[in-house]
Amino acid sequence: MHMVVHEVMTGQTLAVDLSGDRAKMSPIGSVAPTSLYLSPGWVDLQVNGFAGFDMNAPALQPDDVGQMARRLWAEGVAAFCPTVITASAAHIERCLDTIATAYATDPEAQASLLGIHLEGPYISPADGTHGAHPVEHIHPPDWDEFCRWQSAAHGLIRLVTLAPEQPGAIDFIRRLVAAGVVVAIGHSEASTQEIAAAAAAGASLSTHLGNGIAATLRRHPNPIWDQLADERLYASVIFDGFHLPASVMRVILRAKGIDRTILVSDAVALARMAPGVYNSPVGGQVELHSSGRLNLYGTEYLAGSASSMKDGVENALRLAGCSVAEAIRMAALNPLRLLGVAAPEASTLFSWESDKQQLTVLAMLRGGRVLYRSPEVQRYAQKETV
């Protein structure tokens, strides 16, 4: 099965042959018109769960982590950070240990996990700002507690989201950075001075900027403006069409620039599930609407995202006006640069039909292997053969 594709980052035109579970690629001299693209495998720094697999479930098992990694291939995601959110200390420790066990025992989990994202419990307890995080478990940073958790995680905690206004947070940031952990500001109502102090201490990311914050803010200054203005901070953003309107997407991209912006899904276990009311470890009782919007039941507050990186990349193209290369930098390259890790040996094959404003993930490739193949591949191969 042959296809002509554009390699996104180099601009090369490639002939791709998918035969069985093997993939072969070779450059070709001519530049053919095509809607098919090959890019580095996409990276998602914030995955609470997906398609029924929940990284915060009381009954989380090591196999769930590897199974979720395999399910994410169909969304274009080659590598990700399973995200553990605010809960009791014992629950967080158990989730971290389970994910670490999966990493140690499942080759696919090991190939896919870049580290664990600990989002909370060192965030703001303010209404609206804490979002779906249970306020009863939010508290100031505790270094001894974090060290116990990092031991349970076998050193896999690589990213921590916290609120700089919490007592002791600035010194805690310094200690995390010295230990090789990336620090993000999130679920915070920090002042201008507190945000600047956090960045000076080594914080380098704003987690889902524009979300995890009070619904009503003073005009200026406020935490969104301050984080947008600070060039030391990357911004992760949820381009699912619900967390940020298109106008805000464009403003963030203009302020931060493509190279300082990172697409994340913030997906929870209900992503790609049927609409309905559910009881979830992330947020308690939540409602998944047919539109794809996920709310804390009976409120206007979002309870995470029920979308995926595929939706984020598509919306970067469709709503935010990005080029394909710009969207892929935010989805595949910038997360790795933030974490300071090497790219996974994986590629995402996808189509972008600009006339239909539709993106389709066609295959996930790694080391000459076809990890995932969509039924849609045949249609594109027939239409655009070498």
Contacts of 252 (CB under 8 A, 6+ apart): 209, 210, 228, 235, 237, 244, 261
Instruction: Answer yes or no: 266 catalytic.
Output: yes
DSSP state of 54: E
CA distance 278 to 107: 32
Crossing angle of helices 192-201 and 169-178, in 10° steps, is 20
Q: Give the separation between CA 279 and CA 246, rounded to whole angstroms.
A: 30
Supply the DSSP string of 277-315, one letter for each residue: EEEETTTEEEEE-TTS-EEETTSS-B-SBS--HHHHHHH
Choosing from 44, 266, 311, 355, the catalytic residue is: 266
Helix axis angle for 89-105 and 62-72, nearest 10°, is 70
By the 10 Å C-beta count (0-12 exposed, 13-18 middle, 19+ buried), 300 is classed as exposed
Place of tokens 């389709």: 360
Distance from CA of residue 184 to its chain's centroid?
13
In order, the DSSP letters of 203-238 are --EETTTTSSS-SS--SSS-HHHHHHH-TT-EEEE-
Tokens of 81: 């950070």
| Tokens describing residue 50 | 């997906």
Both structure tokens of 17: 């042959």
Positions marked catalytic: 266
